[in-house]
């Protein structure tokens, strides 16, 4: 009986490894984005990154066919999802221009906590006192993480918080259009970022040299590879097995932030991240108990 309910051990192991690789690639993508934002504007980064990503996606979009896009469920929610996706990635990069990588990623880890709170009102999903308690604890973790320095309540931190809230709305919309193919979802997100980048880039354009152009293009390729790894992980093994490993993103954020930028996270940030992760893991366990499919936490 257990053999029928659980995936084969090799498949589950492969799923975990693919998830870990995908999360590392997302963290690498974010660190590379922060590096480039020291020279190039958010709009220019979004534009070049999205062009490259669409080039990678084009063969898959052709294979899916126009019908996959026409038949996507709930067009209004699909459009809202693109708006929230575009907003959160722009706000993420904007905050990343001024804040350490680990700080921004910690605020975004609170996304599933916001999702639980929003689901109780927008989706009218039942949320018991245990999950409400986890939500309150998770918010407490955000408050703790917001105290590492006197600059914490500056506008970059507020931008990151607004971005993490937009990210939670993106996950809500993703839950509402769960039957949509991955290609349609990713293509919509990429197209939205491309449009915003095209609107913003001309105002602060810096002509990149060959190395930086390659790095800007690499952003899109790494993000697509990360999406592919996470999607494959969810195919190879149940979400209940692989989703918790997405919290390793904070490990990579701290490590890459230190190696690439010399950022040393404050103890209060690490404590807040630990509280947020614990609350998020508990909420995920409750979602699993009530058979609600988990939405991947990856934000790109």
Q: What is the pLDDT of residue 80?
A: 93
- What sign for the dihedral angle of Cα 50, 55, 58, 59? negative
Q: Bigger pLDDT: 106 or 152?
A: 106
pLDDT in tens, 39-78: 999 999 999 999 988 988 899 899 988 888 888 888 899 9
**Mean per-residue pLDDT for 34-40?**
93
pLDDT for residue 148 is more than 60: no
| CA angle centred on 157, ends 223 and 247, rounded to 5° | 45
**Mean per-residue pLDDT for 221-232?**
83
Q: What is the pLDDT of residue 6?
A: 52
Q: Which of these, 74, 62, 297, 299, lies nearest to 193 by C-alpha position?
A: 299
CB neighbour list of residue 168: distance below 8 Å, 6 or more residues apart:
110, 111, 112, 113, 114, 115, 118
Tell me how far apart the alpha carbons of residues 295 and 178 are, in angstroms, rounded to a whole number: 9
Please tell me the total number of residues recorded for the chain in this structure: 300
Angle, helices 249-261 vs 9-37, to 10°: value is 40
Half-sphere exposure of 149 (CA within 13 A, CB side): 11
Q: What is the pLDDT of residue 239?
A: 64
Average of per-residue pLDDT values in the chain: 82
User: Lowest-pLDDT range, 4-8, 30-34, 194-198?
Assistant: 4-8
Half-sphere exposure of 107 (CA within 13 A, CB side): 27
Within the chain, strands assigned E span none
pLDDT in tens, 156-212: 888 988 998 898 888 788 878 877 888 888 889 899 999 999 999 999 999 999 899
Q: What is the pLDDT of residue 2?
A: 47
Q: What is the pLDDT of residue 4?
A: 46
Q: Are 23 and 248 in contact (CB under 8 A)?
A: yes
Give the number of other CB atoms < 10 A from CB of residue 130. Answer: 12
Tell me how far apart the alpha carbons of residues 36 and 49 are, in angstroms, rounded to a whole number: 11
Q: Which of these, 112, 106, 89, lies nearest to 223 by C-alpha position?
A: 89
- Structure confidence at residue 290 as a pLDDT band (50, 70, 90): low
Q: Which of these, 300, 56, 72, lies nearest to 193 by C-alpha position?
A: 300
| Percent of all residues in the chain with a pLDDT value above 70, rounded to a whole number | 85
Domain extents in the chain: 11-289
Q: Which of these, 255, 246, 263, 248, lies nearest to 299 by C-alpha position?
A: 246
């Amino acid at each position: 009986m257990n053999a029928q309910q659980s995936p084969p051990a090799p498949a589950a192991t492969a799923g975990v490894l693919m998830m870990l690789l995908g999360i590392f690639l997302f963290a690498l993508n974010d660190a590379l984005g922060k590096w480039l934002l020291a020279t190039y504007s958010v709009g220019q980064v979004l534009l070049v990154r999205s062009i490259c990503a669409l080039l990678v996606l084009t063969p898959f979009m052709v294979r899916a066919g126009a019908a996959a896009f026409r038949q996507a469920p709930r067009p209004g929610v699909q459009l809202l999802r693109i708006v929230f996706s575009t907003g959160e990635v722009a706000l993420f990069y904007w905050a990343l221009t001024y804040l350490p990588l680990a700080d921004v990623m910690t605020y975004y880890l609170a996304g599933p906590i916001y999702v639980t709170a929003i689901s109780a009102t927008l989706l009218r999903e039942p949320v018991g006192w245990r999950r409400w308690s986890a939500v309150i604890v998770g918010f407490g973790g955000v408050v703790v993480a917001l105290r590492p320095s006197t600059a914490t309540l500056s506008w970059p931190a507020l931008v990151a918080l607004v971005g993490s809230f937009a990210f939670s709305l993106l996950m809500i919309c993703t839950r509402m259009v769960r039957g949509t193919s991955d290609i349609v979802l990713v293509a919509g997100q990429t197209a939205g970022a491309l449009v915003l980048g095209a609107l913003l880039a001309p105002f602060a354009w810096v002509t990149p040299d060959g190395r930086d152009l390659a790095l800007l293009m690499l952003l899109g390729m790494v993000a697509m590879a990360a999406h592919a790894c996470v999607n494959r992980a969810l195919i190879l093994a149940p979400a209940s097995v692989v989703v918790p490993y997405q919290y390793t993103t904070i490990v990579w954020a701290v490590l890459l932030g230190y190696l690439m930028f010399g950022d040393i996270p404050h103890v209060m940030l690490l404590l807040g991240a630990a509280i947020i992760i614990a609350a998020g893991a508990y909420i995920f366990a409750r979602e699993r108990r009530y058979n609600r499919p988990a939405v991947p936490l990856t934000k790109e």
